Amino acid sequence: MKLYNTLTRKKEELRTHVPGKLTMYTCGPTVYHFAHIGNLRSYIMEDVLEKYLRYEGLDVTRAMNITDVGHLSSDADTGEDKMLKGARREHKTVMEIAKRYTDAFFDDCRKLNIKRPEIVEPATGCIQNYIHMIEVLLNKGYAYEAGGNIYFDTGKLEKYYVFHDHREEDLAVGVREGVEEDENKRNRADFVLWFTKSKFEDQELKWESPWGLGYPGWHIECSAISVRYLGEYLDLHCGGIDNAFPHHTNEIAQSEAYLGHPWCGHWFHVHHLNTGDGKMSKSKGEFLTVSFLEEKGYDPLVYRFFCLQSHYRKNLVFTFENLDNAAAAYGKLAARIGGLSKEDAPLDEEAAAALRQRFLEAMGNDLNTAMGITLLYDVLKANTNDATKRAMLAEFDGVLSLGLLEAAEKAGKAQEEDAAALEGDGEILALIEERQQARKAKDFARADAIRDRLAAMGVVLKDTPAGVTFTREKK
Ligand code: AMP
Ligand code: ZN
């Protein structure tokens, strides 16, 4: 497949080190709060990418970390650990917070049809791997100790800002407004590998290390977890675009310094979901979650559909109006699929091959999911039998995971129920009309008998100036 690579700023063929096998790493959530639907946009797009690569026949192994230590409240090294903030907010321990929000994250993933990666590793599970990596970096001269912390020395690299052409000063964390300069750093872009000293002394989780009791920096976890589970050569690394700098830039610096060779050749970044007033962010306190959408009556898969309608490299603006449009389109599509007959006809191989080819062209061109969805409508219009249409929709939905056939089934059932209810209404209306005629003919015994019969059916009549209306008793 051709996939845009942030590293080369080009759409490129995605290559694997071992033919037929692909290793994929995803930066996981920081579990100090619920994931917001912006975070989940990234995970939805990464999920479609993984499923598409499998569809193309690759044997994918995917690993993801769960950040439960070390991610500070500024991406520089001066803030407080986000996990600790979460624990304080809820009067719980850090590990309780981590469990609560890891479970909540996977619950959201389940609702959004996001597959769980084969390997999921909490950052606190690999402390010895970080210590080993940092020791090697120290031995090789890529790291130094200052003020009790171990820093990565970006001055030792030929090129540190791998993702950007901009002037280095514009990007350096130290000169961003509102971020304090850490006096221990040799270079402004240096970052912490291991903390033993921080101005926040109440860090809850600490581990013994050759440099004293402390905890890892945020970036080292992804390098170490990736190397541990996916080996020294990684084929594809994913994350939201805000991770490109400094997180991924630092991952590349330390991984390649540690390994002594290039590490990951292809970087996939999902652009942000924004609200009308800017980027969605957990640290802002109020944010949209999947549960909130459900409370408002939206099927989580409608949100997935909404995300897939846009390209992952474009910012996406979330409004309820946009989501309503997606819900209407999703409902109509499901209803149309529900209208296909369930005939048991043989697969029309020729039509299937042509549709498959178009799906590969759309999705294989930088994951054009919007075109992938358009193709679903083309399947419905295709000149072939309904059995083939159903089979192709099921095949493509194996990648898009919109639950369309299930939704179609549900929509079909609801329609049948409505029809049954309408038929029931027809009978009631006929009885009401008969009662009116009886009353006109002063046959009150007959009118009362009809009223009793309706009452037995759970129908309550009401005589109004506009005529007789009825309600059904709740069962
Ligand atoms: P975090 O839980 O903050 O570590 O973020 C989890 C993932 O969500 C990372 O890959 C981020 O880059 C990504 N992310 C954060 N904010 C957004 C957003 N507004 N839209 C899309 N992805 C986001
Ligand atoms: Zn990461």
The ligand minimizing its distance to the Cα of 254 is 2
- Identify which ligand lies nearest to the alpha carbon of 241: 1
Ligand 1 midpoint to CA 282 (Å)? 9
User: What CA–CA distance (Å, rounded) separates 405 from 410?
Assistant: 9
Nearest Cα to Cα of residue 67 among 290, 282, 252, 263: 282
Say what the pLDDT of residue 283 is: 64
Separation of CA 260 and ligand 1 centre (Å): 30
The pLDDT, as a whole number, for residue 166 is 53
Specify the pLDDT at position 174: 43
User: Nearest CA to 194 among 77, 91, 92?
Assistant: 77
Provide the pLDDT for residue 63.
98
Give the Å distance between the CA of 244 and the centre of ligand 2. Answer: 9
Output the CA 357–ligand 1 centroid distance in Å. Answer: 33
Q: Which atom of ligand 1 is nearest to the CA of 279?
A: 19
| pLDDT reported for residue 426 | 81
Of ligand 1's listed atoms, the one at least distance from the Cα of 67 is 4
Whether 163 contacts 249, CB under 8 Å: yes
Give the three-state DSSP class for 194: strand
Phi and psi dihedrals of 368, rounded to 5?
A: -85, 85
Q: Which ligand is nearest to the CA of 287?
A: 1
Ligand 1 touching residue 70 (CB < 6 A): no
Per-residue tokens: 403: 């639950």
What is the model's pLDDT at position 111?
98
> Are residues 2 and 366 in contact, defined by beta-carbon separation less than 8 angstroms?
yes
| pLDDT beneath 70: ranges in the chain | 74-76, 165-180, 199, 201, 281-286, 474-475
Protein residue with least CA distance to atom 22, ligand 1: 39
| Residues facing residue 72 across a β-bridge | 81
**Is the distance from the beta carbon of residue 399 to the nearest atom of ligand 1 less than 6 Å?**
no
CA distances from 161 to 92, 175, 190, 245 (A): 39, 15, 12, 8
Whole-angstrom distance, CA of residue 358 vs CA of residue 364:
10
